[in-house]
């Protein structure tokens, strides 16, 4: 699945609201945490030890974000250390309710994978093929009805959802919260903001009319 196709499906309704200063501070602190590591899971895990997520959760976060924002002609989420920043947000920025919501969403994801693929992620590590199957079913809805149901389950407070539907609702909340954090962090990293987007931290004089050929087609980082 191509990155652009995946990104069309991330707006499912739930997401943590993170202040820009807090986010940028964490991103900055993570720039050098794993600077000697490659993008491979083994190399990064030797250097970075998550402070909030357990090892199984951290591996799932890495696999999810690598699938969502893979390395192509530009760096991917792992290259700019998005998983490390997310662990920092959960550890240092999120309040207890947000942490509880994340853990509930995680539990929903685990239940869904177990029901669909007969894999218990509480006892075994997540593998790329498990994430591939998960993405194929839940990140690319094939009909409007499925997408609308996902939107409704993700938007509805969990206490208002029936017990039978809570695992699936939490799965969609997991998808969106992780996607929302991942994409926001990714586009705010120094590498992506300065090298792949328009970035002007100190705007100059406004020019209302300039030739179209002088304007590049990059989105603005700020």
Q: What is the DSSP letter of 94?
A: -
pTM of the predicted structure, to 2 decimals: 0.74
Residue 129 placed within a domain: yes
Neighbouring C-alpha atoms within 13 Å toward the C-beta of 42: 0
Residue 219 placed within a domain: no
Distance CA(44)–CA(49), nearest Å, equals 9
Which tens digit of pLDDT belongs to each residue from 176-209?
899 989 988 888 888 887 877 766 666 666 666 7
Residue 213 placed within a domain: no
At 162 the pLDDT is: 92
Distance CA(126)–CA(54), nearest Å, equals 13
Which residues are CB-contacts of 86 (< 8 A; sequence separation ≥ 6)? 61, 65, 178, 181, 182, 185
Residue 204 placed within a domain: no
What distances in angstroms separate CA 133 from CA 136, 158, 163, 171, one per listed residue? 5, 25, 25, 14
Residue 140 bridge partners (DSSP): none
Q: Are 173 and 101 in contact (CB under 8 A)?
A: yes
Residue 202 placed within a domain: no
Print the domain residue range for 69.
Answer: 3-7+20-197
Neighbours of 198 (CB within 10 A): 14
Residue 105 placed within a domain: yes
For the chain, the domain total comes to 1
Residue 152 placed within a domain: yes
Residue 83 placed within a domain: yes
Report the Cα 142 to chain-centroid distance in Å: 22
| pLDDT tens digit at each of 222 positions of the chain | 444 444 444 433 334 444 444 444 554 555 444 343 344 445 444 578 899 999 999 999 999 999 999 998 889 999 999 999 999 999 988 899 999 999 999 999 999 999 999 999 988 999 999 999 999 899 877 788 888 888 888 889 999 999 999 999 999 999 989 998 998 888 888 888 787 776 666 666 666 676 766 655 665 555
Rg, the chain, Cα only = 18
């Amino acid at each position: 699945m191509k990155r652009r196709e995946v990104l069309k499906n991330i707006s499912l309704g739930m997401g943590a609201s993170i202040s820009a200063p807090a986010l940028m501070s964490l991103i900055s602190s993570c720039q050098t945490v794993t600077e000697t590591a490659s993008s491979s899971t083994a190399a990064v895990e030797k250097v970075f030890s998550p402070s909030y997520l357990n090892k199984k959760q951290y591996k799932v976060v890495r696999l999810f974000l690598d699938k969502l924002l893979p390395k192509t002609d530009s760096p991917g989420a792992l290259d700019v250390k998005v998983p490390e920043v997310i662990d920092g947000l959960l550890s240092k920025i999120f309040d207890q309710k947000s942490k509880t919501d994340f853990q509930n969403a995680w539990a929903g994801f685990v239940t869904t994978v177990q029901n669909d693929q007969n894999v218990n992620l509480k006892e075994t590590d997540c593998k790329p093929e498990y994430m591939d199957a998960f993405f194929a079913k839940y990140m690319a809805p094939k009909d409007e009805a499925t997408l609308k149901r996902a939107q409704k389950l993700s938007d509805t407070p969990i206490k208002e959802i029936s017990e039978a539907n809570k695992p699936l609702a939490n799965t969609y909340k997991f998808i969106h919260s992780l996607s929302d954090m991942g994409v926001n962090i990714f586009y705010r990293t120094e590498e992506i903001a300065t090298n792949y987007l328009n970035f002007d931290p100190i705007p100059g004089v406004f020019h209302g009319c300039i030739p179209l050929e002088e304007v590049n087609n990059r989105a603005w980082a700020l």
